[in-house]
Amino acid sequence: MKIRIDKDACVGNARCAAISEVLFQLDDEGYIAVSEIDVPEGMEELARRGARSCPEKIIEIIEE
Ligand code: SF4
């Protein structure tokens, strides 16, 4: 599973990081720091929850 994030559209409310700081790393200003994430095994549900938590709907889950 992968996560793709439309980084430029992030509004920096850190909802995703509240679900998992490990998966959804923020920069110093609180915006998402990465645009593509390989989801480690066992973290798939956190990834899905993080995607659902984003009010901007810019986190896309790519099931492989
Ligand atoms: S929840 Fe969405 S808008 Fe908020 S920091 Fe994460 S990616 Fe950005």
> Which atom of ligand 1 lies at the shortest distance from residue 5's CA?
7
Residue 56 pLDDT: 98
What's the domain count of the chain?
Answer: 1
The per-residue pLDDT for 18 is 98
Residue 33's CATH number: 3.30.70.20
Cβ–Cβ under 8 Å, residues 9 and 25 = no
Structure tokens at 21: 């700081």
Output the pLDDT for position 40: 97
Domain that holds residue 40: 2-62
pLDDT of residue 8: 97
User: Which of 7, 10, 27, 46 is the best mutation target for the ligand 1 pocket, counting ligand atoms within 8 Å of the beta carbon and taking the most?
Assistant: 10
Q: What is the pLDDT of residue 64?
A: 84
- Burial of 17-44, coded b for 16+ CB within 10 Å and e otherwise, reads bebbeebbebeeeeebeeeebebeeebe
Residue among 27, 28, 41 at smallest CA distance from 5: 27
Q: What is the pLDDT along the chain (64 residues), one digit of tens a residue?
A: 999 999 999 999 999 999 999 999 999 999 999 999 999 999 999 999 999 999 999 999 999 8
